[in-house]
Chains A and B, each alone.
Chain A
Amino acid sequence: MEKFKSFLIRKKKPVIFSVLGIAVFIICNALISSGTLGRQGAGLLVPICINIMLAVSLNLIVGFLGELSLGHAGFMSVGAYAGCLFTIHFDLPVYIEFPLALIIGGLVAAIFGVIIGLPALRLNGDYLAIVTLAFGEIIRSIINSLEFTGGAGGLKGINKFSNFSVAYIAAMLTIIVIVNLVHSRHGRAITAIRDNIISAEAMGINVVFYKLISFVMAAFFAGAAGVLYGHHLAILKPGTFDFNKSIEILVIVVLGGMGNITGSIIAAIIITILPEVLRDLSDYRMLIYSIALIVMMLSSSSPKLAELRSKIKGRLRPSTGKEVA
């Protein structure tokens, strides 16, 4: 009986999660078909799903592995080009072709994840961040100079396969896989590496393997998100996947909270909708992002601000302070 109870408690969260997931899906579909969202609102649903995929996958590297990747747009672009070239050159039925394109985009990006992950094993911190940045730039300038990718003019003639249902399912799969990974034995190993790499190594955790697996997983989902992106806009330009794109994903992760997947999802929704709602403020968008980044970092780590925060908390809930004392 005890065992059954704990089983229920343990299983409750996934049940709530899946009910919520299905409910959101049905509500969104109902809103689209009834036209409540309007064209503009409905057009935002796919970008929201794409950003959720990107943010959740980057959170695995930044939040859980504790390394900074500035090349997430690079993974996205590799996946996008691979998937879109596949659907352009092959003529299969859509329901086979598009899922296959998503997987191919993901796999190609994952291969690049290995290529980036391998040097990353020897590096950490600032150096790793710069190497990922360099990789992103290299990928961009190579795509720019190649013939079959359309060069700087962009890749045209992509079918508009992306719709809300596909994007939603892909985003859900991303969330499910990453949440399960993070809560598994492997996820604990990854967070152990973040907290202290030397003690993690001493406890017998295979640092090389886990760093690599985090990069590969993150790259896979970023690549799949890229494929969705390409089939949503119907055109791919290498200029889209620059450093700014990587930073935008990073902003989502940081705003949502590093190591917090629910936060990433909420932040992805807000950051995608906000520029559309505040069209007048579009010039100030990057300024607001940058201030948000600085303030978030200062408020979470500055000792003075932490003191201030605990004071405010203590004033709001004086009883808890006594209990601790």
Chain B
Amino acid sequence: MQQFCEQLLNGLNLGSVYALIALGYTMVYGIAKMLNFAHGDIIMVGAYTLLLSSTRFGLPWYLAVLLCAVVCCVLGVSIEKIAYKPLRNASPLTVLITAIGVSYFLQSSALLIFGSNKQKVDSLIKIKGFTVNGINVSGESIVTLSVTIVIMILLTLFIKKTKMGKAMLAVSEDKGAAQLMGVNVNATISLTFAIGSALAAVAGILYMSSYGFVGPYTGSLPGIKAFVAAVLGGIGSIPGAMLGGILLGIIESMAKTYISTDLADAIVFGILIVVLLFRPTGLLGKKRIEKV
């Protein structure tokens, strides 16, 4: 029972990181109708920024976090402007291959700059954990969970209440009609990429606080798993991404404990296939009818 509770907590911890990354995927997919394959690598860039700013140059934590978010925002928006914007009316295959290219570009640039060795990043979280009924609750878990909950509430409020948020919803519903209603589509898409990348930066920082090492390929696996989470919850749906992320984190950590560490990834990907087979729109996704 004690082990179960600890694994549940681990799962929640991992799941909230996945949920933050999945939010970026799902928002970009909802608006640009494209799978931003490079999203996972933005986490890696965020982690390296943290390494340089906090561990190497010793900036205070709030400046380091701010710097990570800004660097990732700028990166995300410029990727959109350079690589994705010219392809807005191209076939999905073209856009997907471009996104894979961008992902590889980020990875190999990091490889050239920082080398292939993984480097230690000091955790920003200095809060001590506590023990309830023999269950260890780490400081990292407390911070990760509370940060995720706060971000999710803020994001939901932003989308439901503000003008920009409503513009995002409108663009994801119908780009052409939104443009006719006076929504600046390009600015809205840039904003989406900026928010998604900032969330990836936060996710990167939280991921680093639990795992502690960054390498050029750090972002790709959590990126792909977060995509699985987004699909599981229903891509394009914001509550779906949150739910999918948390569920996936719990499933992964349970599979690691009770089934096999080697097969945990296979189980996660197996779930993706099963979900896509029986509910292609995910748990909370809307069904879309294809028109001729």
Contact = CB atoms under 8 A, between A and B. Distances in A.
Interface string B80-124: 000100110111111111101111110111011000000000000
Contact of B100 (A67, A247, A298): A247
B96 A129 contact: yes
Contact of B86 (A133, A284, A302): A302
Given A129-B96, A294-B101, A286 B108 contact: yes
A290 B227 contact: no
The majority secondary structure among interface residues of chain A is: helix
A119 B34 CA distance: 21
A119 B93 contact: no
Interface string B152-180: 00000000000000000000000000000
Interface residues of A, number: 47
B90 A293 contact: no
A294 B292 contact: no
A138 B89 contact: no
A303 B101 contact: no
B97 A254 contact: yes
Given A125-B93, A294-B101, A297-B98, A287 B112 contact: yes
A130 B108 contact: no
B92 A293 contact: no
A301 B90 contact: yes
Contact of B276 (A70, A127, A141): A127
Contacts of B290: 198
Contacts, number: 129
Contact of A141 (B90, B100, B265): B265
B272 A131 contact: yes
Task: Give the interface centre of A125, A145, A289, A292 by most chain B CB atoms within 10 Å.
Answer: A125
A130 B262 contact: no
A303 B105 contact: no
B263 A142 contact: yes
Nearest to B29: A126
Contacts of B97: 68, 250, 254, 293, 297
B94 A127 contact: no
Contacts of A31: none
Nearest to B89: A303
A254 B112 CA distance: 24
A24 B100 CA distance: 35
A126 B108 CA distance: 23
A123 interface: yes
B100 A287 contact: no
A303 B85 CA distance: 11
A52 interface: no
A42 to B, nearest CB: 30
A198 B112 CA distance: 46
Nearest to A297: B98
Contacts of B146: none
Given A119-B277, A145-B263, A298-B87, A290 B92 contact: no
A297 B227 CA distance: 23
B231 interface: yes
Contact of B105 (A144, A294, A300): A294
A305 B265 contact: no
A292 B105 CA distance: 10
Contacts of B92: 125-126
A247 B96 CA distance: 12
Nearest to A145: B262
Interface in B27-45: 34-35
A178 B35 CA distance: 30
A142 B96 contact: no
Contacts of B265: 137-138, 141
Contacts of B263: 141-142, 145
Contact of B231 (A122, A127, A243, A298): A127
Contacts of A145: 260, 262-263
Contacts of A125: 92-93, 96
B137 interface: no
B86 to A, nearest CB: 4
B93 A62 contact: yes
Interface string A124-161: 01110111011101100110110000000000000000
B254 interface: no
A3 interface: no
B111 A286 contact: yes
Contact of B102 (A142, A243, A290, A302): A290
6 contacts: A126-B35, A131-B272, A141-B265, A291-B101, A301-B94, A302-B86
